[in-house]
């Protein structure tokens, strides 16, 4: 199949599966089929995270991302060669936030708050420009760290009477999201947040993936953000799924799917 590459960003596929126990007994080697599919996708410049789901919404969580949506679709079909029944999936794209500060914003802030002008101002703006280039690269083409926990949930902005996000002007939306971002930055190093866009691709507007080593950090960041105006007044949330991450073979062993003889 011809590659299908987004003009901006990468494709992201979250899949959640139950082990078909009777089929797994009839067809040993189910884990090997999953591992072969993962290895093949990784060889094609994609990334995969696998985890054993906590609770009973699913057994296995798989997150795959990379430049080719056609290859991601083939991967999801390959996983069905194992005794796995899909229970939910989510499709999105990595993206940049439209509310990120611009160079003009930063220039005005440095002049206003730090009194900079001339060469000193231009030097600081150049440093900011370099940092933002790295930030944009990380948002569009993230390299996912090895953390122990994954939490995923979809969300949308409300369109309620009196609380319609899309009736606010851009400046007001940017102000509100600036406060939301400050909460997120307070968890740098504890929680990696990947916000991916899904308007027209899936049922919600964004997918949120949180990666951490401490479950308390996951609980705390979501709790604190609930009090932020962007969430308290304007956000709707879908189901949350949490998984214990590990090497793919370890995740499969946790859910009782063996490689067979």
Beta strand ranges found along 72-133 (DSSP E): 84-94
Do the Cβ atoms of 30 and 83 come closer than 8 Å?
yes
Structure tokens at 60: 């296995």
Distance CA 242, CA 238 (A): 13
DSSP letter at 48 equals E
Contacts of 213 (CB under 8 A, 6+ apart): 147, 148, 149
Told to judge if 153 belongs to the known catalytic residues of this protein, a careful annotator would answer yes
Give just the sign of the alpha carbon dihedral 194, 199, 203, 205.
positive
Q: Which of 17, 90, 99, 153 is catalytic?
A: 153
Give catalytic residue positions: 153
């Amino acid at each position: 199949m011809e590659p299908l590459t987004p003009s901006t960003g990468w494709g992201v596929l979250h899949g959640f599966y139950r082990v078909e126990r009777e089929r797994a007994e009839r067809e040993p080697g189910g884990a090997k089929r999953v591992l072969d599919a993962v290895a093949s996708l990784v060889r094609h410049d994609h990334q995969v995270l696998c985890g054993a789901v906590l609770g009973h919404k699913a057994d296995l969580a798989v997150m795959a991302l990379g430049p080719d949506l056609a290859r991601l679709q083939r991967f999801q079909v390959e996983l069905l060669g194992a005794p796995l029944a899909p229970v939910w999936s989510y499709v999105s794209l990595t993206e940049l936030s439209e509310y990120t500060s611009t160079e003009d914003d930063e220039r005005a802030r440095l002049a206003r708050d730090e009194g900079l002008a001339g060469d000193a101002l231009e030097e600081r703006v150049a440093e900011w420009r370099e940092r933002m280039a790295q930030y944009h690269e990380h948002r569009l083409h993230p390299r996912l760290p090895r953390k122990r926990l994954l939490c995923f949930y979809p969300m949308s902005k409300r369109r309620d009477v009196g609380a319609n996000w899309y009736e606010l002007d851009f400046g007001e939306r940017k102000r509100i999201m600036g406060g939301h971002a400050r909460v997120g930055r307070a968890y740098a190093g504890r929680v990696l947040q990947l916000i991916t866009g899904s308007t027209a691709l899936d049922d919600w507007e964004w997918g949120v993936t949180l990666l951490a080593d401490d479950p308390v950090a996951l609980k705390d960041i979501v709790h604190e953000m609930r009090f932020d105006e962007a969430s308290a007044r304007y956000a709707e949330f879908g189901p949350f799924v949490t998984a214990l991450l590990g090497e793919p073979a370890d995740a499969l062993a946790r859910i009782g799917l063996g490689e067979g003889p």
